[in-house]
Amino acid sequence: MRALCAFLLIASFAPALPGQQTQTPAGNSDGGVTVTIHDGGVDQVLQSIFIPPVKDAPFTAIVHTQWIRPLADGGTYTLVNQRQVARDRAGRIYEERWWLVPKGGSVESQMNLIQIGDPAMHAVYNCFLIERPHRCIVQPYHDSSTANYQPPVGQSGALANGSGFQTHEDLGVETIEGIDTHGTRDTITYNQGVIGNDRPFNRVREFWFAPSLVINLRSELTDPSFGKQIFTLTNVNTSDPDPKLFELPDGFAVVERSKPAAPSQ
C-alpha cells in the first residue's frame, strides 16, 4: 500500500465548483440569496514517485516534476514543482508536497504538506501547513521495510482479448547523479475501440531504476489521456539525512484519522 501517497499533488482544471452564493439584488421581494451553479470540469491527481521504506539505503534529493498536458489545438501547457525528499537508515521517509504551478508563470509554488512515514511505528503523519489550526493527521502505514521492492518487468507480446500489444525494451545502464541505474521502456499499444478510443494509441513508461537506492532517479509516463509526466531527481546525497527532518513540526496537534473529532462544548 502506498501510504505516503494518500495525499498527493493535486491540480484542478476548470473544476466543478460548489455553488457560490450572492446577495439577491435590491427589490427582490423574497429577500433570499442567489446561488450560481456550475456543471462539468475535472479534478485530477498526479501520482508522484514511490519511495519504499527500505533500511540501510539513506538519501536526500530534490524531485523535479513536469506535467505536460495537451491542448485541443495541438499545443501544450506545463505544470511544474520541485520538492525535497529523504529516507534514513531505519527506512523512515520524509516528503514535502508543493503545489503544481504553470511553468514560467507568475504564480509561485507553495509547500502545503509534510509527510513523515515511520515503518517501525506503522504510521504516516500528514502535516498540513496551510490549514488552521495546524495539525498532523496520523494514519496506518503498511509498507514493509523488509520487503523486496523491484520495478515492474514487462514482456513483449500481445495483450489479452486482442486488445493490443506490449513492447518491452531494455535500455541498458546509465550513471545518473553518480549512481548506476538500469533503464526500461514499456510501450502498450491499445487497439481502436478498446477503451472508447476512436484510434489506436500508445501508453509509454520509461524509468531509470537505481538498485542501490531502490528508487527511480528518472521516470517518464506518456499517455494521451493526461499528457506526459516527467520526474527527475537531483542533488542526490547518500549520507544519512538530518534527523530533524523526521520530527513533527513544532506546535502541530496530532490527530488520528480513525478517531472522530471530539464534539464541541
The number of folded domains in the chain is 1
- Residue-number span of the structural domain to which 126 is assigned: 3-13+43-151+214-256
Is residue 182 one of the residues assigned to a domain?
no
Residues 169-179, mean pLDDT to the nearest whole number: 97
Is residue 125 one of the residues assigned to a domain?
yes
| Residue 36 pLDDT | 87
- Grid cell of 173 as nine digits: 545502464
Is residue 242 one of the residues assigned to a domain?
yes
Q: Is the model's pTM score more than 0.95?
A: no
Residues 171, 227, 81, 75: is their CA dihedral positive or negative? positive
User: What CATH number does residue 147 fall under?
Assistant: 2.50.20
| Residue 46 pLDDT | 81
Residues 248, 249, 252, 255: is their CA dihedral positive or negative? negative
Residues above pLDDT 70, as percent of the chain: 85
pLDDT at 265 over 80: no
N residues, the chain:
265
State the average pLDDT for the chain.
87
| Residue 10 pLDDT | 42
| DSSP H helical ranges for 182-250 | none
What is the DSSP code (8-state) at residue 14?
A: S
pLDDT at 20 over 70: no
Is residue 18 one of the residues assigned to a domain?
no
- pLDDT band for 29, please (50, 70, 90 cuts): low
The single residue listed with the C-alpha cell 503498511 is 142
- Quote the CA–CA distance of 87 and 216 in Å, as a whole number: 14
Is residue 173 one of the residues assigned to a domain?
no
pLDDT at 70 over 50: yes
For residue 74, CA distances in Å to 40, 77, 224 come to 22, 10, 12
For 127-145, write each residue's pLDDT tens digit: 999 989 999 999 999 999 9
Return the exposure string of 93-114: e unless at least 16 CB atoms fall within 10 Å of the residue's CB, then b: bbbbbbbbbeeeeeeeeeebbb
| Residue 31 pLDDT | 61
